[in-house]
């Protein structure tokens, strides 16, 4: 099949593209406008592959999207293009409204008109996978059961609100127009090629450079962590086998407090990269610095992924321990990739969300 992946040069998008190109026979049209978080260097092994076509397109550009659909005739759309960093949304929400809401609407409308022109066989087989986040469900108190697909939406941040709005649009386009939409909501992703403003790469890189490791508040905010390559495989399943109109939560049932995540990174680096000793540090943990909490900070997210696991017989291959170890090794082995980003992006903000 021919997949159109929006945001295919981003963190999760590039993982999906690499999975499709390296481990399937499908073709990929990769549509990305290459904002600060888009990076063609994240497409290692796929960039020059004959089944991979890159198009620098903004999903808010209706004409460019129409031309892309007409030229490439995709069978499946995986919509991953989005602004995704909570801190940035608090500082300036406009790009999140533009990309996540207006962009999703533009893509849905373009896709609908394309789909309505397909013959009956192709239109029946066509799928639009809208990829979202667990943050749309809002704050989850300690001891309360994890989010289900039926959990009411209660987004806290401008980012989460913009994603919630795009989810509602996707479901409305299925209900009103019949567009074969599938929605997924995932937990925190981590792994190779993640932009350095996010919690895990931020902690790894700052530790290696002997810089402070900022932790919001008491660091007891709990997140469910999902290795990005596991998520990519799950998304392809949802896109090819998901039932139109259905929502699937994708997570790993692996809740960890942020402070513990940072401490674990420090402890692993003690063995893998004892560079701190050359800087006069006794332990990497000495770099941990508690900073003022951010506005509206959700204390806990947790995903109930039983529906997805049962439907598709899918389970994450990586535990948090094995996934974090693989991630640390990747950042240690690929310093050129992240050093370019750090050098070209001044004042990277402290991260906390997927």
Residue 206 falls inside a structural domain: no
Tokens of 209: 């450079």
Confidence at residue 353, expressed as pLDDT on a 0 to 100 scale? 38
Residue 199 falls inside a structural domain: no
Residue 22 falls inside a structural domain: yes
Q: Is the Cβ–Cβ distance between 104 and 170 less than 8 Å?
A: yes
Confidence at residue 351, expressed as pLDDT on a 0 to 100 scale? 43
Confidence at residue 65, expressed as pLDDT on a 0 to 100 scale? 98
**SS3 for 27?**
strand
User: CA 208 → CA 63, 113, 265, 328, 335, distances in Å?
Assistant: 45, 50, 11, 11, 10
Residue 348 falls inside a structural domain: no
Helices (H), the chain: 11-23, 62-72, 86-91, 94-96, 104-116, 120-125, 158-177, 199-208, 228-241, 258-272, 306-312, 320-333, 335-344
Please give the model's pTM, rounded to 2 decimal places: 0.95
Hey, which residues are catalytic here? 134-135, 159
Confidence at residue 282, expressed as pLDDT on a 0 to 100 scale? 84
DSSP calls for 180-245: -EEEEEE-EEESTT--TTSHHHHHHHHHHTT--EEEETTS--EEEEEEHHHHHHHHHHHHHHPPTT
List all residues 6 or more positions away from 36 whose beta carbon is below 8 Å from its beta carbon: 195, 345
List all residues 6 or more positions away from 67 whose beta carbon is below 8 Å from its beta carbon: none
Tokens of 74: 């995709």
Q: Please give the helix or strand (H or E) that residue 30 lies within, else none.
A: strand 27-31
Identify the CATH number of the domain in which residue 229 sits. Answer: 3.40.50.720
d(CA 72, CA 291): 48
Residue 260 falls inside a structural domain: no
**SS3 for 79?**
strand
Residue 277 falls inside a structural domain: no
Q: Is the Cβ–Cβ distance between 139 and 154 less than 8 Å?
A: yes
Confidence at residue 277, expressed as pLDDT on a 0 to 100 scale? 64
Confidence at residue 344, expressed as pLDDT on a 0 to 100 scale? 85
List all residues 6 or more positions away from 50 whose beta carbon is below 8 Å from its beta carbon: none
Confidence at residue 281, expressed as pLDDT on a 0 to 100 scale? 78
Confidence at residue 354, expressed as pLDDT on a 0 to 100 scale? 35
Domain boundaries, position 103: 2-194+225-253+302-317
Residue 324 falls inside a structural domain: no
Residue 132 falls inside a structural domain: yes
C-alpha torsion 144→147→150→151, nearest 10: 60
The pLDDT profile of the chain, 354 residues, written as one tens digit per residue, is 999 999 999 999 999 999 999 999 999 999 999 999 999 999 999 999 999 999 999 999 999 999 999 999 999 999 999 999 999 999 999 999 999 999 999 999 999 999 999 999 999 999 999 999 999 999 999 999 999 999 999 999 999 999 999 999 999 999 999 999 999 999 999 999 999 999 999 999 999 998 999 999 999 999 999 999 999 999 999 999 999 999 999 999 999 999 999 999 999 999 999 876 666 778 999 999 999 999 999 999 999 999 999 999 999 999 999 999 999 999 999 999 999 999 887 655 444 433
d(CA 25, CA 8): 17
Buried b (16+ CB within 10 A) or exposed e, 149-178: bebeeebbbbbbbbbbbbbebbeebbeeee
Instruction: Determine the straight-line distance between the first and last CA of the chain, rounded to whole angstroms.
Output: 29
d(CA 136, CA 157): 9
Count of the separate structural domains present in the chain: 1
Confidence at residue 131, expressed as pLDDT on a 0 to 100 scale? 98
């Amino acid at each position: 099949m021919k997949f159109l992946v929006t945001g295919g040069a981003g963190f999760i998008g590039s993982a999906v593209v690499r999975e499709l190109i390296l481990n399937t026979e499908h073709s990929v049209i990769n549509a990305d406008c290459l904002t600060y978080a888009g990076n063609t260097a994240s497409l290692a092994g796929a960039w020059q592959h004959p089944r991979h076509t890159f198009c620098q397109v903004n999903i808010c550009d209706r004409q460019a999207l129409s031309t892309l659909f007409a030229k490439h005739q995709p069978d499946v759309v995986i919509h991953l293009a989005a602004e995704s960093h909570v801190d940035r949304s608090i500082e300036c929400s406009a790009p999140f409204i533009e990309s996540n809401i207006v962009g999703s609407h533009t893509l849905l409308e373009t896709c609908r008109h394309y789909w309505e022109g397909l013959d009956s066989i192709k239109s029946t087989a066509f799928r639009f996978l809208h990829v979202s986040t667990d943050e749309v469900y809002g704050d989850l108190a300690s001891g309360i059961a994890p989010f289900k697909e039926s959990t009411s939406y209660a987004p806290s941040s401008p980012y989460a609100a913009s994603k919630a709005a795009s989810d509602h649009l996707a479901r409305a386009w299925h209900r009103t127009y019949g567009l074969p939409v599938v929605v997924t909501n995932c937990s925190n992703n981590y792994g190779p090629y993640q932009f350095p403003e996010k919690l895990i790469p931020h902690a790894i890189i700052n530790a290696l450079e002997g810089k402070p490791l900022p932790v919001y508040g008491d660091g007891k905010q709990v997140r469910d962590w999902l290795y990005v390559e596991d998520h990519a495989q799950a998304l392809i399943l949802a896109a090819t086998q998901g039932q139109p109109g259905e929502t699937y939560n994708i997570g790993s049932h692996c809740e960890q407090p942020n402070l513990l995540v940072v401490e674990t990174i420090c402890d692993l680096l003690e063995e893998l990269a004892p560079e701190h000793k050359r800087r006069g540090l006794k332990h990497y943990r000495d770099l941990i610095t508690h900073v003022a909490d951010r506005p509206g900070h959700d204390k806990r997210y947790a995903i109930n992924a039983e529906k997805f696991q049962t439907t598709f017989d899918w389970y994450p291959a990586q535990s948090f321990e094995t996934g974090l170890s693989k991630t640390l090794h990747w950042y240690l082995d690929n310093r050129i990739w992240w050093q370019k980003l750090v050098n070209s992006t001044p004042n990277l903000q402290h991260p906390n969300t997927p």
